Structure 1
């Protein structure tokens, strides 16, 4: 059956229809939802209740699922990137584009359409005066509907209405791209304005079926494209026939949010709403209740199921009336909901409909596809469609607070709108790319600090190396402490020009002598005293400690030409051999302590100083013997530390101090990365350095990345409370899993099921060898800087050479 689309004329975001109505359509910015705290979700529900209380009758809420525009994804990945100076990042972005294309992510477009006025064009174009008047009326209505801008309504472009029409005709069979928001689209990338494709709707697909099956509850849409190709789309319009009597909010009432979590099923939805004031609704309820009472009286002596059904209706109506009676701000909402399912074949459609019904059956909601009403329901998904009695036949009635619990305009977005793509969003079910613009957060006065948690082999190091490769590609620099015996960060250096490997074993290639590294004599003195005195087990206020502080005064160093720690040692030895008294004893004590350390990385003057301008620096600490937490925190245990552990602890802190001086200054972005962070965060100096990076990194364009097995134990003070970007990978230990989820911001008592998800359904190892399937690697929970919590999958580098370097380790760590 041929039919006419409702639009007679369109100007800006206004639409004049053939039946004489004027409508205004806006993009809706969905509110953040996901796994947030209940108080945040109640705030979202309050915004929806305010919306429905102010919307005019016959307002249309619409949500379409469409393939994401991958060119737009790539443009967002290149936002604020110097394309002339970042060839490696451009290569990574292009390879990432191909990988995302294989994933085929989707998106949801949310719109709302308001009836504005009545205006009959009679085949003419709207005049400028008519357009101006209707635009003014639309603007006035908008200030009433969303006065605080909760949903950030934005006028749609003129081309959106043809897009919606064409999308509805080819639902489930064509791969059109989602239209860009005009606020973000550029003239060079904006697509040409589409037109309305003519189409044919065959209700029941009678053209290809026998008479007996010609009344199937479905549609077949046929569209002939410009090249002569015919697109066939098989569709079913489903509507909820019944809801559970009590759908608790939050957690059970959000029945539209489940549509994106069903694999291989693409569903659009539309909801038409009307409103009735509280007094009129209560009067009508009294009349209906009286009629039910009469029916019950007539059947008082009967015993049967119909009587029980009448009593249930009475109870339901009484409960609903109590809601209106006790809440003076509540009103009545009449809403009709249509779920539109599309597929390229009838077999696929049958499977999709069956899957959708099964999903909703578990929620206590019965879906049906009314026969004979499919085409009329299909029209509801087109803004400006005329009213039809079928919408009233299948409407439901509820109070505004209960309707607000549906929260139709929500999203599970995570991280940022622009920046490198590090993975895909799993919580939304649409696999949207996760942009993480951590390098530019400092320019927005947001800390670029990152913390990672998870068990061994869960993907922490893999993600850390992914972040560091992005830093290098975008002209930043990083220093990472590699504690692994196999040197899992070392292969990455081969893919990064200007990289340096620092080894702290008996045969180092560079020195960490701060007197040689820092040109500022005052800075060199302070860092040397902070590290060397604890290494030598000499108290700061002791006589040898004061003597060393005096020797390192800039004037004294210049006069005696003391350019290195080796020079200081030789100077003390000369003075001790010719001197007498207390000073000679202190000098002898310092020389003996320095010789006992046996640390060429500090005292070998032949080694070149560690380069501070290197793009990538990996400091290997696997040969260092490090003290335990108890040995660091208990005074008597620290005083008796063996030389080997004391040296390891000092070098660890020295590397952190060097990173602080290297990165916490204006200029080139720098990131300090610490895997197995407890070796640093367990010390007072380490805690201080972490806190400085977290608090002051945004001022100096510097970031810090921490990785740990137990964030509750290892991330103290600022690392636990102030790091805004948190990633939680698999943790099967129940205690550590609870610690990790609590650190992410989850209420572990109310949402205990998420702990089970982390333990059993986050990159789960399977089989005897406990290997993780390739498609399940990199899964994690994410808490971003906006307080949103969700689930994601880290993809890693897209470039083949970089991916091999990042993922290859002798231990074959599964991610």
Structure 2
């Protein structure tokens, strides 16, 4: 026998039921979840409190475990991309889809469904008449009449009042008929492979819309025929072959739901919350989110009945009178029976509850029934999952769940929007205030990243893994800088993240400029997996390209570059005689007239001026000779080298072997005067590289250009280089040029104001406590004060095993704070292309790294 559902018709987000009550459903966005000590936690509580105080009466909050289809992820990765022009990206997406097919990703979908109150006597009369008419039609076998237009308008008007009470931070969107059908079919297939929820419609009718008329999409009435026919069998009687098993109620704590259209059965077990910790629950404990962390794909529903504090006090006054009467009757017997003490506790609890009801002007009394449903393809599997959840909550969190025998079907229907409140729902109701109920913060999401873009990682904040996408171009278009900062110790995974980001930007048609100071030149091998015809490696120690600004930019445009470079190389003060002479020679007009096409020409001209009797020019020429005759000066003075092509899609500056002064040497005048030529040269070259990187990345504002600096401390010691980085952070958005920097300590990212400009933040393992606290404080203000956060960074991210190696399944773990301020735990996702994956994960030997000619030929 098929089951008759209570629904009779659906129009848009409205649902008519056989009881005459109309329900309205909205899809909600989960609120960002913070880590320990996060201000986001208090914000979430405040928004949930506004929801609890705003809706008086009955409603359902639903958290349903939906799937994310591989096609949806693929479409998000390819959004805005012409795959014919980006074949590497197309290949990456196809491989990712295969992986998602093998390892499905999940996402919790949030909904609120509310039975609408009749606002006028006429509305109530229409509702009663509709119920009576439908009942009569059903008895004689006639088709149930669709809602009349005036009834639809009345329902829309009533729903609008509820809609206005839902906090805007939850981004309520009126559910579509397709979404309502998905909720129903989802209930039939728990534990089986489920169809993903319809994608959220950005063009849906949002909160605040004043649209009450019947649009075309509202005028179409859908009926429950959209649902598959199904059969329900509590305890799986149709599966029983043994009379003994048939009579054993302890093995019947499940419900068999058979989809008669697909001819497949889902075995489901429903749990109802029956007790909470005696001392109350920890308001900072997201115990509902624990369901996801357990890795059990579970659905949950709150059936809520709320009344105003005034009404609650009026009702409770009778209870108070009864307690007082019982205490009077038991006076003198407490010493014998102990019941007087129980009355004292009850009176104290009631008094405290009254105080809580009066704490807020808009306070409400909430009766909430919390129901959890788990499913499987077998009865034993469903029971095992339910017992696992029940035991975990009882042993670890002191929350008691019951799996009522004989009540499974009733609890299943209690999770169905449109189903009336039944006896079993009232039996498991917990009584509390709206403020206390809000501390549960059930509408919480661990979503991270952007809606489209580069597949950068998997979100492992809980047991439902989901892809994390990074859309730097989208962030820039949305008036966010798109900058990324990574902090953590060596071996924690910073370089892998950087390579993934570079590869993703390159595959999507963007450009990148990177500074790599590592001995093994780890980005060189990675560059080989990109388009080698447009990727250039520039080695400053063994140069194959010239970085002479006059040769690269020409005499007129390159003169200012050359002045800054020479002033730094030669230690010249701008207003000194040397500075004035250099400025005169490198005047833009003069440089063009004298055809200063290279630094060698400049050097020769200074020699000639010196030979003519100009002592200042002679001294400058002599200082320049110190560099022109050294091996490391070849990158500037060797005119036989080809110049760097600024139009290359990828440029990596390899700086290992370039000596750099320490911050202490630069800050100490005495030590500064004693710097060796190699350190002076290195300091000047880093400033040049920073300025050239800005020039390259800022030249075309219609395409993404990423500046990447690993071990940012090398750049930060030079005030000129640091200033260029700050320009990226402050102005890069206008030019489509985000900054990606990494260091072991976030304090290397400049002063507080500069660090605050970095929007996308990643923390990897940092076993040093002081550095971990510093990194956490940058990640989110106040986080370093929470010991659990420090322990997370120092001990729980990609932890080292007994062999001092990170287990394969724990590599790449990090904390991620996205551009919207949402925070969670991720595991970086390496390319599925073998050659790209190997180059991303490997640390090559310096001797085996190809030189610039091999890569850029």
Could you tell me the TM-score, scaled by structure 1's length? 0.93
Give the counterpart of 1:473 among 494, 498, 507: 507
Distance 1:516 1:496 in 2: 27
Q: Does residue 137 of structure 1 match 2:157?
A: yes
Shift of residue 643, structure 1, vs aligned partner: 1.0
Q: Which has the higher helix share?
A: 2
Residue pairs, 1:323-342, within 5 angstroms: 323-342=356-375
Q: Is the 8 A contact 1:710 1:736 kept in 2?
A: yes
Residues 564-596 of structure 1: CA distance to partner in whole angstroms, max 9, x if unpaired? Answer: 00111122223333x225346435534544445
Residues 70/194 of structure 1: CA separation in 2 closer, same or farther (3 Å cut):
farther
Q: Which residue of 2 aligns with 1:704?
A: 739
Moved more, 278-287 or 655-664: 278-287
Asked whether the 8 Å contact 1:245–1:316 carries over to 2, the reply is no
Distance change (3 Å), C-alpha of 1:487 and 1:749: closer
The structure-2 alpha-carbon separation of the partners of 1:150 and 1:748, relative to structure 1 and needing over 3 Å to count, comes to closer
- SS of structure 1 residue aligned to 2:226: coil
Larger mean Cα displacement after TM superposition, 494-503 or 108-117: 108-117
Residue 272 of structure 1 pairs with residue 308 of structure 2: no
Tell me, yes or no, if the aligned pair for 1:267 and 1:342 is still in contact at 8 Å: yes
Separation in 1 of the partners of 2:439 and 2:752? 38
Q: Match of 1:329, SS?
A: coil
Paired residue for 2:854? none
Specify every segment of 5 or more residues in structure 2 that has no aligned partner in the other structure, as ranges.
Answer: 119-126, 135-142, 205-222, 847-857
Distance 2:593 2:309 in 1: 90
Q: Matches of 1:561 and 1:581 in 2, distance apart?
A: 21
What is the alpha-carbon distance in structure 2 between the residues aligned to residue 767 and residue 14 of structure 1? 59
1:752-778 deviation per Cα after TM superposition (whole angstroms, max 9, x unaligned): 20110111110111022x111221111
Q: CA deviation at 1:680?
A: 0.5
Q: Structure 1 residues 718, 528: CA separation in 2 closer, same or farther (over 3 Å shift)?
A: farther
| 1:187-223 deviation line (CA, Å, top 9, x unaligned) | xxxxx99932222222223342624413545223242
- Aligned-residue offset at 1:64: 0.9
State the match for 2:596 in structure 1: 562
**Pairing of 1:235-254 with structure 2 (within 5 A):** 235-247=268-280, 250-252=283-285, 254=286
Distance in structure 2 (CA, Å) of the matches to 1:115 and 1:387: 11
Q: d(CA) in 2 for partners of 1:458 and 1:301? A: 64
Distance 1:668 1:372, change over 3 A: closer
Assess, with a 3 A threshold, how the Cα gap between structure 1 residues 298 and 365 changes in structure 2: closer, same or farther. farther
Q: 1:584 to 1:642 in 2, by over 3 A?
A: closer
Q: Deviations over 1:142-164 (max 9, x none)?
A: 34422x52322212121233322
Distance 1:306 1:176, change over 3 A: farther
Tell me, yes or no, if the aligned pair for 1:448 and 1:704 is still in contact at 8 Å.
yes
Name which of 188, 191, 204 aligns with 1:172. 191
RMSD: 2.4
- For residues 595-614 of structure 1, the aligned pairs below 5 Å read 595=628, 597-598=630-631, 599-614=633-648
When structure 1 is superposed on structure 2, of 32-41 and 166-175 the one drifting more is: 32-41
Counterpart of 2:693 in 1: which secondary structure?
helix
Indicate conservation of the 8 Å contact 1:536/1:594, yes or no. no
Measure, in 1, the Cα distance between the counterparts of 2:537 and 2:337.
84
1:700 and 1:385, CA in 2 relative to 1: closer, same or farther beyond 3 A? same
- Post-superposition offset of 1:73: 1.6
Runs of 4+ in 1 over 6 A off after TM superposition: none
Change (3 A) 1:763 1:806: same
Q: Is the 8 A contact 1:38 1:250 kept in 2?
A: no
1:5-44 to 2 correspondences below 5 Å: 5-35=5-35, 38-44=38-44
C-alpha deviations, 1:465-485, integer Å up to 9, x for none? 111111211211111111111
1:157 maps to 2:176: yes
**Cα distance in structure 1, aligned partners of 2:717 and 2:668:** 12
Partner Cα distance (2:229, 2:629) in 1: 89
User: Is residue 773–residue 784 contact of structure 2 (8 Å, CA) maintained in 1?
Assistant: no
1:355-384 C-alpha deviation (Å, 9 max, x unpaired): 212332222211111222211111011110
- Aligned match of 2:256: 221
How far apart, CA to CA, are the structure 1 residues paired with 2:665 and 2:837?
39
In the TM superposition, what is the alpha-carbon distance from 1:44 to its structure 2 partner?
2.5
Shift in Å at residue 603 of structure 1? 0.6
- TM-superposed CA distance for 1:101, in Å, is 3.1
Tell me if 1:730 matches 2:765.
Answer: yes
Distance change >3 Å, CA 314–CA 496, structure 1 → 2: same
1:674 aligns with 2:693: no
Counterpart-to-counterpart distance in 2, 1:237 and 1:349: 9
Is 1:365 the equivalent of 2:396? no
Please state if 1:126 is matched with 2:146: yes
Distance in 1, matches of 2:490 and 2:22, equals 61
1:792 aligns with 2:826: yes
User: Could you tell me how far apart the structure 1 residues matched to 2:382 and 2:337 are?
Assistant: 39
> 1:683-702, aligned counterparts within 5 Å?
683-702=718-737
- Deviation digits for residues 688-715 of structure 1, max 9, x if unmatched? 1010000000000011111100112444
2:290 matched to 1:258? yes
**Per-residue deviation, 1:718:** 4.8
Q: Give TM-score, length-normalised by structure 2.
A: 0.88
Q: Does residue 379 in structure 1 map to residue 413 in structure 2?
A: yes
Match of 1:511 in 2: 546
Equivalence for 1:80 = 80
Equivalent in the alignment of 2:537: 501
Instruction: Give the Å deviation of 1:184.
Output: 6.6
Separation in 2 of the partners of 1:428 and 1:698? 33
Counterpart of 1:52 in structure 2 is: 52
- In the TM superposition, what whole-angstrom CA distance separates every residue of 1:36-64 from its partner, at most 9, and x where no partner exists? 86544333223222222332522121121
Contact 1:67 1:105 in 2 (8 A): yes
Residue from 643, 656, 661 that aligns with 1:622: 656
Alpha-carbon shift at residue 560 of structure 1 (Å):
2.5
Shift of 1:554: 2.6
Following the alignment from structure 1 to structure 2, what is the Cα–Cα distance between the partners of residues 380 and 135? 23
Alpha-carbon offset, residue 181 of structure 1: 2.3
Greater CA drift, 31-40 or 613-622 = 31-40
Alpha-carbon distance, 1:437 to partner: 0.3
Q: 1:193 to 1:688 in 2, by over 3 A?
A: farther
| Alpha-carbon offset, residue 236 of structure 1 | 1.6
Cα distance change of structure 1 residues 79 and 755 upon mapping to structure 2, 3 Å threshold: same
Of residues 770, 788, 791, the one that matches 1:756 is: 791
Tell me which residue corresponds to 1:188: none
Give the match for residue 346 of structure 1. 379
C-alpha distance after superposition, 1:495-545 (max 9, x if no partner): 22211111111x3110110011114x4541222121222212233333233
Deviation for aligned residue 1:182: 3.6
CA distance in 2 between partners of 1:711 and 1:304 (Å): 65
Change (3 A) 1:288 1:811: farther
Q: Which residue of the partner structure matches residue 808 of structure 2?
A: 774
The answer (yes or no) to whether the contact 2:12–2:175 under 8 Å persists in 1 is: yes
**CA deviations over 1:62-115 (Å, ceiling 9, x no partner):** 121122122112111112223332221222222222223333111111111111
Q: 2:463 aligns to what?
A: 429
Mapped contact 1:255–1:406 kept (Cα < 8 A): yes
8 Å contact from structure 2 (residues 38, 782) kept in 1: no
Aligned residues: 797
Against the structure 1 CA distance between its residues 581 and 492, is the aligned structure 2 distance closer, same or farther, given a 3 Å change threshold?
A: closer
For residues 458 and 339 of structure 2, what CA distance do their matches in structure 1 show? 52
The answer to whether the 8 Å contact 1:270/1:381 transfers is yes
Partner of 2:668: 634
Change beyond 3 A, Cα 1:554–1:50: closer
Q: 1:317 aligns with which of 345, 350, 354?
A: 350
